[in-house]
Amino acid sequence: MKLTLLLLFACSILLYALPANATDPCPQLRTQLASTDVATRIAAIACQENHA
């Protein structure tokens, strides 16, 4: 039981220490102006207007 808790605690500290990798979706979205999904087209137009 103690070993399991110790391993769980060690894993949680390791995962907490890893940095989050946030990326900007706009470079990929700007090319999807002709998408069939309405929300994707709206996001692509917003990214294009924000970039200009």
Residue pair 40/32 in contact (Cβ under 8 Å)? The answer is yes
pTM of the shown model = 0.53
Q: What is the pLDDT of residue 42?
A: 92
Mean pLDDT by 10 residues, the chain (52 residues): 86 73 82 90 89 69
DSSP state of 19: P
For residue 47 the two structure tokens come to 């990214």
CA distance 44 to 25: 10
CA distance 52 to 33: 15
Q: What is the pLDDT of residue 52?
A: 63
Contact residues for 40 (Cβ-Cβ < 8 A; gap 6+): 29, 32
